Chains A and B, each alone.
Chain A
Amino acid sequence: MPDIQETPLPGVGVRLDFTCQAGDRIGVITRHSGRRDVVVYHRVDHDAVAVSVELTPEESQVFAELLGGTRVTEQLNNVIREVEGLALDWLVLPAAFSRRTIGETQMRTATGVSVIAIVRGDHPIPAPGPDDRLEPGDTVVVTGTAQGLAAAAKLLGV
């Protein structure tokens, strides 16, 4: 996993970059306006940007897909930006997790967190109900407050 450096650019946005195995340093500048700049650094002058490509939010999605990403992430991030205090997370249920239904975990009552999707293998289950089962190895997409998510992770043994 490459070491991603996050650098806030006051008044502009935030820059995330890392050095790839081949030795080049690349990064993405996310501006407050939603515009993204993909930057590739100079090989000799490590501090200077050699190439910079400006992408609109839509083009960024397309580029991410070309690299193997997914549209869902972007749209979900938009939701989070609009609703302050809302957090979203992907939790992978450990092998030791005992099979239960969502209702049986009492997650909503205890932590206020809702499960909005389960991904089992390649098979997604969107908007599961309280009677849907959770199995070890599933990835559950949960949303709630930041504290709620921490409590939910504990509850599920993640």
Chain B
Amino acid sequence: MLFAAGSAEVALILVELGGVFFAVGLLARLAGRLRISPIPLYLMAGLAVGAGSPIGLDASHGFIETGASIGLVLLLFFLGLEYAPRELLSTVRCTARAGVVDLLNGLPGFVAALSLGWSVTTALILGGVTYISSSGVIAKTLDDLGRIGNRETPVILGVLVIEDLVMAVFLPVLAGLVAGGTAAAVGLSVGTGVSLVAVVMVLSARFGPAMSRLIFNRSDEAMLFSLLGVTFLLAGAAEQVGVSAGIGAFLVGVAVSGAAQHRAEALIAPLRDLFAAAFFVFFALQIDPRTLTGVMASAVLLATISAITKAATGWWAAKDAGIGVPGRVRAGLTLVARGEFSIVIAGIAGGTAADADGRLGALVAAYVLLMAVSGPILARLADPLGRWLVERSQRRAVQDIAG
């Protein structure tokens, strides 16, 4: 057992995990220094120790794999925690039109997958990958740049909320399609999945406060275990009925509100950081770095096109909300960032027929690497670009008057 003499395996697990954690810590520091999201660095770390690499993680592979599942659950639980049910409803009403326009961002990925000769299911997955902007990276960017108070920020946040809600419905559909089977079987699993999400949404809006009161406890320990228990149970149940564990966790997060919300964030945040890192590392672990070179050109092209479509979406959404030109530029460029959710979507395909040769995973990893880094950089460029545009239109106006 654990304390038996000569447990070399335990020693190996601890050393490997220690190495991984230490490396992740260094990467997080580096990310802070470079003022970028740590996600691309975690992906690179995973690539470095993954398939076809001299450094192998044999003993701790099981832990990282389990950790990845937990990471997904906690990531999405935390995302749902940030939202309150009432907020979601009012936001959807205000930003509905922008949400519809935003759907067009799925086209670059969808078309790209089909042109690469992949199946329709894979095309839907890649469409989802290019569609969804990263709430995590963007929220952090807005905070870093001090733009939380800006008038275009509610538009940005509103679009992100709608994307998360669309995903809540889309992921069960994808999971059903990836699982395959006859058209009837797929239709049934998709139908059950979607209606379940709708039902749980309504229930959490109704009974969320009651559930939050049940969970809330003065003891941190009691509350932590209640939270984890409810989240994991419901996530597992969701996975069982084909709704995807992540969405189950997201819905639980949304349901937890009131006084329990803030405490839950404080308690779960460190766990989320730990397991989320495992999630990204594990995703990249499974990718053979050699396949990256093959997909890099496609990734760059896809990144460029989907950056343009996102920027245009943000511009339109801000214009629709009555924001001025500089604000439209900021909204457009801030929405470009992709990150954790794209990995979540691609993860559904991992190891299944939808990603048989591993090229989808490689393409998504390369794509997210590019977007998670360039997104915040573009957001930073929004102010100078906005000013340039304003000056240009003023110069034109002067010329019109003079000429």
B60 at the interface (CB under 8 A from A): no
A113 at the interface (CB under 8 A from B): no
**One of A10, A34, A46, A84 near B151 (C-beta < 8 A):** A46
A82 at the interface (CB under 8 A from B): yes
**One of A8, A15, A84 near B90 (C-beta < 8 A):** A8
The interface bits of chain A over 2-37 (1 if a CB of B lies within 8 angstroms of the residue's CB, else 0) are 000001111110010100000000010100111001
- Known contacts A11-B83, A45-B326, A47-B326: A84-B148 contact under CB 8 Å: no
Give the A interface residue count (CB, 8 A).
25
Whether A10 lies near B209 (C-beta < 8 A) is no
A49 at the interface (CB under 8 A from B): yes
Give the CA-CA distance A46 to B323 in the complex, in Å: 9
- A51 to nearest B CB, angstroms? 9
- Chain B residues near A106 (CB, 8 Å)? none
List the interface of chain B (C-beta within 8 A of A): 82-83, 87-88, 90-91, 135, 139, 146-154, 157-158, 160-161, 209, 213, 258-259, 261-262, 265, 323-324, 326-327, 330, 383, 386
- B90 to nearest A CB, angstroms? 6
Whether A47 lies near B324 (C-beta < 8 A) is yes
- A20 to nearest B CB, angstroms? 16
A48 at the interface (CB under 8 A from B): yes
- Chain B residues near A29 (CB, 8 Å)? 148-149
Whether A12 lies near B148 (C-beta < 8 A) is yes
Whether A84 lies near B157 (C-beta < 8 A) is no
Nearest-neighbor residue (CB-CB) of A28 within chain B: B149
- B75 to nearest A CB, angstroms? 14
Whether B161 lies near A47 (C-beta < 8 A) is no
Give the CA-CA distance A33 to B259 in the complex, in Å: 11
10 CB-based A-B contacts, threshold 8 Å? A9-B153, A29-B148, A32-B261, A45-B386, A46-B324, A47-B150, A48-B151, A52-B149, A81-B259, A82-B259
Whether B161 lies near A10 (C-beta < 8 A) is yes
Nearest-neighbor residue (CB-CB) of A13 within chain B: B148
Whether B327 lies near A84 (C-beta < 8 A) is no
- Chain B residues near A15 (CB, 8 Å)? 149, 154
Give the CA-CA distance A41 to B151 in the complex, in Å: 9
Give the CA-CA distance A12 to B147 in the complex, in Å: 12
Whether A8 lies near B213 (C-beta < 8 A) is no
Give the CA-CA distance A5 to B243 in the complex, in Å: 39
- A52 to nearest B CB, angstroms? 5
A87 at the interface (CB under 8 A from B): no
Give the CA-CA distance A47 to B386 in the complex, in Å: 12
Whether A49 lies near B157 (C-beta < 8 A) is no
- B6 to nearest A CB, angstroms? 49
4 smallest CB-CB distances across A and B, nearest first, come from A39-B149, A47-B327, A47-B151, A11-B82
**One of B146, B157, B213, B326 near A9 (C-beta < 8 A):** B157
Nearest-neighbor residue (CB-CB) of B212 within chain A: A84
- B266 to nearest A CB, angstroms? 9
**One of A33, A45, A84 near B324 (C-beta < 8 A):** A45
